[in-house]
């Protein structure tokens, strides 16, 4: 993989509390631990790893990725179930988009069963905890290679 490949990894609300928030659901890894896993999995590719609790900031970063990234991984957290704005922003991308969830939303409360992000994503990885981020980076790299 060329060192010019850039993968954005965007994280939504409350993910800054990983490791402390409901570890029985989300695990004990912190977001900093997960970032390190992504950096390791990326090899020569560059990871831009960000987290925000604000929907509009996620939209801004998605729009930025249109010009600066070869792939985007997004853990939209609760915004996946509520945000048409994220859906619309993701639909503007021509790069691969991987939706990611630490838990399996389909196995949780009914309101988590629908995702506005899924219909705009190339693929979805859910239920593998922090290891899902590594899987997502691998999937993104595969898609970037396929497009090259």
The total of other beta-carbon atoms located within 10 Å of residue 135's CB is 15
Determine whether the annotation assigns residue 88 to a binding site.
yes
Determine whether the annotation assigns residue 75 to a binding site.
yes
Given a contact cutoff of 8 angstroms between Cβ atoms, the answer to whether 7 and 137 are in contact is yes
The total of other beta-carbon atoms located within 10 Å of residue 117's CB is 23
Determine whether the annotation assigns residue 31 to a binding site.
no
Residues with a catalytic annotation lie at 26, 101
Determine whether the annotation assigns residue 145 to a binding site.
no
Give, in degrees to the nearest 5, the angle at Cα 93 between 88 and 29.
85
Determine whether the annotation assigns residue 53 to a binding site.
no
Q: How far is residue 11's CA from residue 34's CA, in Å, rounded to a whole number? A: 11
Residue burial 46-85, b: 16+ Cβ < 10 Å; e: rest? bbebebbeebeebbebbeebeeebbbbbbbbbebbbebee
Q: How far is residue 38's CA from residue 132's CA, in Å, rounded to a whole number? A: 10
Binding-site positions read 75, 81, 88, 102-103, 112
Q: Which positions make up the binding site for substrate?
A: 75, 81, 88, 102-103, 112
């Amino acid at each position: 993989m060329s060192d010019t490949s850039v993968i954005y990894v965007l994280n939504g609300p409350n993910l800054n509390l990983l490791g402390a928030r409901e570890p029985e659901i989300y695990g004990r890894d912190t977001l900093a631990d997960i970032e390190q896993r992504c950096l390791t999995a990326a090899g020569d590719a560059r990871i831009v790893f960000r987290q925000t609790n604000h929907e509009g900031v996620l939209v801004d970063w998605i729009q930025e990725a249109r010009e600066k990234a070869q792939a985007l991984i997004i853990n939209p957290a609760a915004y996946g179930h509520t945000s048409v704005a994220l859906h619309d922003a993701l639909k503007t991308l021509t790069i691969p988009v991987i939706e990611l969830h630490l838990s399996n939303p389909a196995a949780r409360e009914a309101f988590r069963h629908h995702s506005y992000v899924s219909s705009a994503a190339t693929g979805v990885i859910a239920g593998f905890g922090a290891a899902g981020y590594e899987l997502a980076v691998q999937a993104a790299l595969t898609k970037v290679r396929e497009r090259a």
